[in-house]
Amino acid sequence: MPEEFFELLSDSQTPPTYKFFNGSAWVSGASGPPAGEAGKTTPVISPIDQSVVGNLTTATTAEIDEIVIKLKSAQPAWEAKPLNQRVKIMHLVADWVHHYEEYLTTLLVREIGKSVGESKSEIVRTAELTDYFADEVQSIHGETINSDDFPGYDKGITAMVERVAHGVVLCIAPFNYPVNLAASKIVPALLMGNTVLFKPPTQGGISGVHLARIFEKAGVPPDVFACVTGGGNEIGDYLVSHKNIDAVAFTGSSDTGVAIAGKAPMKPLLFECGGNNPAIVFPDADLNLTAREIVKGGFSYAGQRCTAIKYVLGTKGVLDTLIPVVLAQMKELIHVGDPRSPETKLVGPVISPDVAQKIQGWIDESVGLGAKVEVGGKHDKAYIEPTILINVTPTMPVIVNEVFGPVVSFIEVPGMGDAATIINQTRFGLQACVFTKDEGTGIVYAKSLNVGTVQINGSPQRGPDHFPFLGVKHSGIGVQGVRYSLEAMSRLKPVVLNKPQ
């Protein structure tokens, strides 16, 4: 029964107040000097109807200190454990996630307003990713390197290069994938022998503590994994700048990423930050395919994916033909509504009415500067109408900001070279997608784009999850993807044997 498995996470009131996991027990806080004030809680508000889903307890600085010290001292023994034991625990994590698929899906839908299908897919993907990590880690081995390869050296010096853990890794997950983008950090960190402090987002934090319970029940030993809750503005700075945190893995906005990087100097960082991903449409593109990918890529989960398409570039002739096809596909593929309803397709609410209001401001300002609303353009509470803007220019607010909502802008360019210039001048560099029937043209054009990944004839996406996933400029630091994440959650340690012959 899910109720029994997750019972001790909260006080079972209506709405419930959730505890956090200090590494060995679920605690309600309030036991020390406050980060804000002792026993403080933060409500988690559903974007669907602004009801309170539950409250999260804010950990105090004293509680965080105590947890981090324990994580630090438990780390060497965890790393020394046979890998096969860590692997077994992670497979059990995957099994429990599968087991509670329905329960976690329902929670996710209400907490973050993701549709049932998209929420379910996040949960299933998390279990599959965890299993894949646990399999892949077994093929990560050290190597030996001999000295005589390098000019001037004889044989006799051998580097034995091993992978070792960083120590205590802080894993900070975002609201849009609070389960999957938590596991994508926690699992590789634990497999590589790190201990982990998990900080879920506020919205998504209830799903986050449920995931934490699964790690505990799967058999992660005491003080190897802990989960603390509290607003980013209350405990975030304290966590990222903590002297006993050895590495930080984070997904969130570029502004927060830049702030964290400044507060965690000389620490290994693995960041997935904002994206403002463009689609470039060549004159020979298959317009039906292009339009479908723009609609799916721009509007799924109401555009709240760092990989969402945010703007489309093409010449006047191409856009004039493409836009009516996009509008027709929107009618077919999108059904705005309550994410709990099976009728809803692609667009439910954004994460809060405040965020909707902020996006509305960017739309209105851009219109004031000459953009034209082709469809949509208004919001009601957290629901933003799926919006297409035309006559957009690269300096408008809808382009210079990461609009985390269902808005796609069209920019007319004289030629494809101008499109590349516009893309390369933005501060973002996650992904771009190029539509052309000539793959060779796409491959050559991809070389001119300064982004992490270029997709040809498909919308941007992180998956398949074993592909490398990275952003350049303000879109990220380091590389994720199964093997790459395992490598990022560890470092090389050469031990050099000197045996002159």
Residues in the site for ligand G3H, rule: CB under 6 A?
176-177, 272, 305-307, 461-463
Looking at residue 45, its amino acid is I
Smallest separation (angstroms) from ligand G3H to the CB of 230 = 22
Start-to-end CA distance of the chain, whole Å, equals 67
DSSP string, 259-302: HHHHHSTTS-EEEE----EEEEE-TTS-HHHHHHHHHHHHHGGG
Looking at residue 492, its amino acid is L
Smallest separation (angstroms) from ligand G3H to the CB of 304 = 7
Smallest separation (angstroms) from ligand G3H to the CB of 223 = 30
Between 307 and 490, CB nearer to ligand G3H: 307
- Say if residues 462 and 307 touch (Cβ distance below 8 Å): yes
Smallest separation (angstroms) from ligand G3H to the CB of 272 = 6
Smallest separation (angstroms) from ligand G3H to the CB of 180 = 8
Q: Is 340 exposed, middle or buried (0-12, 13-18, 19+ CB in 10 A)?
A: middle
CB-side neighbour CA atoms (13 Å) of 258: 10
- Say if residues 486 and 186 touch (Cβ distance below 8 Å): no
Tokens, residue 391: 């006559």
Smallest separation (angstroms) from ligand G3H to the CB of 312 = 18
Q: Helix, strand, or coil here: 413?
A: coil
- Say if residues 383 and 349 touch (Cβ distance below 8 Å): yes
306 catalytic residue (yes or no): yes
Between 48 and 129, CB nearer to ligand G3H: 129
Give the span between the Cα atoms of 184 and 190, in whole angstroms.
Answer: 11
| Burial 24-49, CB ≥16 within 10 A → b, else e | eebbebbeeebbbeeebbbebbbbbe
Nearest 10 degrees: CA dihedral of 51, 54, 58, 59? -160
* Residue closest to 410 by CA, chosen among 442, 385, 374, 458: 374
Provide the pairing of β-strand 431-435 with 453-456: parallel
Measured in whole angstroms, how far is the alpha carbon of residue 131 from the centre of its chain? Answer: 19
- Point out the catalytic residue in the list 171, 227, 273, 306: 306
Between 10 and 207, CB nearer to ligand G3H: 207
Smallest separation (angstroms) from ligand G3H to the CB of 176 = 5
Residue 498 CB neighbour total at 10 angstroms:
8
Between 250 and 362, CB nearer to ligand G3H: 250
Between 242 and 305, CB nearer to ligand G3H: 305
Give the span between the Cα atoms of 189 and 130, in whole angstroms.
Answer: 12
Smallest separation (angstroms) from ligand G3H to the CB of 462 = 4
Residue 274 backbone phi and psi in degrees, to 5: -65, 155
Between 20 and 177, CB nearer to ligand G3H: 177
Give the span between the Cα atoms of 498 and 501, in whole angstroms.
Answer: 9
Residue recorded with tokens 């031990």:
495
Between 126 and 307, CB nearer to ligand G3H: 307
- Say if residues 98 and 127 touch (Cβ distance below 8 Å): yes
- Say if residues 126 and 178 touch (Cβ distance below 8 Å): no
Smallest separation (angstroms) from ligand G3H to the CB of 213 = 24
- Point out the catalytic residue in the list 63, 122, 234, 272: 272
Tokens, residue 93: 């994590």
Between 78 and 198, CB nearer to ligand G3H: 198
Q: How many residues does the chain have?
A: 501
Omega prior to 15 cis, within 30 of 0: yes
Q: What is the tally of helices (H) and strands (E) in the chain?
A: 16, 23
Between 177 and 383, CB nearer to ligand G3H: 177
273 catalytic residue (yes or no): no
**What amino acid positions are annotated as catalytic residues?**
272, 306
